[in-house]
Amino acid sequence: MKWRKWNRWIHRELGYLFFGMSIIYGISGIALNHGVARHWNPGIITRSVSYDYNRSITKTDVTREVIEEILEITGEKNSFKQYYFPTSDDLMIYLKGGHINVHMPSGTISVTRVRNRPVFNEVNYLHYNKPKKLWTWFSDLFALGLVLMAISGLFLVKGKKGITGRGGLTTLIGIFIPLIFLAIYLWF
Amino acid sequence: MQRLIVWVLFAMLFGSCSQSGKQEETTAEESQTEQIVKATIQELLAQPADYNGKEVAISGMVTHVCKHGGQKCFVLADDGETQIRIVPAGDIDEFKIDLEGSTVAFKGTFKVLNPVQAEALEADHDSKEHHETEMSHSQAEKADYFIEAVDFKELTQ
C-alpha cells in the first residue's frame, strides 16, 4: 500500500533529522529528572579540598593579613572576591569560581571549587529553552516530529507483531503506565 | 433616523476614545511619577508593609545562589547578618553561581506574602530538604518577604 511507504518514509527521515535532538533531550531529561529529585546537580560540579590552618581564630582576629594568609595556604590568591561571617564560628571567603569556608575554632579550611558540568550544562540550556527566539520554534518542530514518529511507528509492521497484534498490546501497556502513576500520585 | 443613530454611535465612540485617551495619558503620567524606592535591606525589613508591592532598588553582597536552577539568591545587609531573598522575574531566567561573593544592585518589586501564602511557602520549603543543616540564609529563605528582581547589575566581581 502506498500510504505505508509514505509512513515508513516519514518515520525514517524524521528519525534521521531528529537523532541529535533526541539524544539532547534524552540526556538532559535524565539529568533534569534527578536534578528535580535532588539526587545530584546536573548543572554544576563541586570539588572540595581541606587544609589545616593550624590555629584557632575568632571573628576579631580576622584582618586582611589573615585573609591573605589563608589565600596563600589554599593557593587562591588571585581569585579573592569578598568575605563575611555566616555564623560566629565560620568565615566565608568568596573566590572567582568557588569559596573557602574556615571553621575558626578548629582552624579547618575547606575550599570548594564550582564549575559548570560539561555537556549537561549545554544540553540543559537547550532543554530549558534558555536561548528562546528561533530555538523555541525548532524545538516545537522536534516535539511535533516526535508525535509524528510515534504515530508512524505504530504502523511500521504489519501482522502478528504489528499494531493489530502484540504491538497493540505493548502500546496499551505503554499508555497505561503513566496513567497508573497519575492515578497514584495525582488523582487519588 | 438611521443617520441620527449613526451620529449618536459615532459620538459615543469618539467620546469613549477620547476618554480612554485621557485615561492613558493619566496612567502614563502616573507611571512617570512612580519612582523606584531606593532602600537598604534593613529599611525594607523594618517596615515591610510600607514597601509591599513597590518597586525598590537595593544592593549588597550575594551570599548564596541556589545551585538547583538559580531560582533564588540571598543578599547580605550592611549589618553583616540580615539577608533578603531575591527571586528572578521579567527577563531574568536564573541567577548564576558566579554572583556569589559579588556586590550586586537589584531592581524589582518588594513583596510580602499573606499568611496563607507564607504557610504554603514554609510547607514547600520543609518538604524539599533544601539544606541538611541550618544555613546563614535559612531565615531569609523561609521569610514571607522577598524581592522579585527584574534587573540586576554586578557592582564588584
pLDDT tens digits for A95-125? Answer: 999 999 999 999 999 999 999 889 998 999 9
Give yes or no: residues A108 and A69 share one domain: yes
Give yes or no: residues B45 and B68 share one domain: yes
CA distance A41 to B76: 25
3-state secondary structure of B87: strand
Chain A residues in contact with B61 by the CB 8 A cut-off are 82, 84, 94
> What is the model's pLDDT at position B128?
56
Interface test with A, best of B41, B59, B62, B63 (most A CBs within 10 A): B63
> What is the model's pLDDT at position B24?
52
Which of A43, A86, A94 is facing B101, going by the closest CB pair?
A: A94
CA angle A111, A112, A118 (to 5 degrees): 145
For residue B103, CA distances in Å to A80, A84, B4, B45, B107 come to 13, 12, 68, 19, 14
Q: Is the ipTM of this complex over 0.85?
A: no
Side chain identity, residue A155 = F
Give yes or no: residues A51 and A100 share one domain: yes
Give the nearest chain A residue to B81 (CA atoms).
A86
In a domain, A173, yes or no: no
pLDDT tens-place string over residues A145-163: 999 999 999 999 999 999 9
- Look at phi and psi of residue A55 and say left if phi exceeds 0, alpha if psi is from -120 to 50, else beta: beta
Taking the CA of residue A125 and the nearest CA in chain B, the distance in Å comes to 11
In a domain, A55, yes or no: yes
Q: What percent of chain A is modeled with pLDDT above 70? A: 99
Q: For chain A, how many structural domains are there in total?
A: 2
Mean pLDDT within B62-81: 90
Question: What domain range includes position B137?
Answer: 37-154
CA distance A34 to B103: 32
In a domain, A100, yes or no: yes
CA distance B104 to B76: 10
Q: Which residues of B100-132 are buried (b: 16+ CB within 10 A; e: fewer)?
A: bbbbbbbbbbbbbbeeeeeeebeeeeeeeebee
> What is the model's pLDDT at position A178?
96
Question: Strand runs (DSSP E) across chain B, as ranges?
Answer: 37-38, 55-65, 73-76, 83-88, 103-112, 145-154
Domain end among A89, A116, A143? A116
Interface test with B, best of A81, A120, A136 (most B CBs within 10 A): A81
Give yes or no: residues A12 and A74 share one domain: no
Q: For chain B, how many structural domains are there in total?
A: 2
Report CB contact under 8 Å: A84, B100: no
Taking the CA of residue B37 and the nearest CA in chain A, the distance in Å comes to 27
Mean pLDDT within A24-45: 86
Give yes or no: residues A65 and A80 share one domain: yes
Give the nearest chain A residue to B136 (CA atoms).
A86
Grid coordinates 508525535 are at which residue? A147
Contacts (Cβ under 8 Å, ≥6 apart) of A16: none
Chains A and B form CB pairs within 8 A to the count of: 45
Q: What is the CATH number of the domain that holds B131?
A: 2.40.50.140
Domain end among A63, A89, A116? A116
> What is the model's pLDDT at position B12?
47
pLDDT surpassing 90 at residue A25: yes
Report CB contact under 8 Å: B98, A87: no
Give yes or no: residues B28 and B63 share one domain: no
> What is the model's pLDDT at position B132?
55
Question: What domain range includes position A75?
Answer: 44-116
pLDDT tens-place string over residues B106-144: 999 999 887 777 777 666 665 554 555 567 777 778 788
Give yes or no: residues B59 and B98 share one domain: yes
Give yes or no: residues B27 and B96 share one domain: no
In a domain, A169, yes or no: no
Give yes or no: residues B60 and B109 share one domain: yes
Give yes or no: residues B29 and B45 share one domain: no
Give yes or no: residues B85 and B42 share one domain: yes
Give yes or no: residues B18 and B75 share one domain: no
Give yes or no: residues B106 and B140 share one domain: yes
pLDDT surpassing 60 at residue A185: yes
pLDDT tens-place string over residues B6-64: 454 444 444 444 444 445 555 544 554 457 788 889 899 888 888 999 999 999 999 99
Give yes or no: residues B48 and B99 share one domain: yes
> What is the model's pLDDT at position A50?
95
In a domain, A92, yes or no: yes
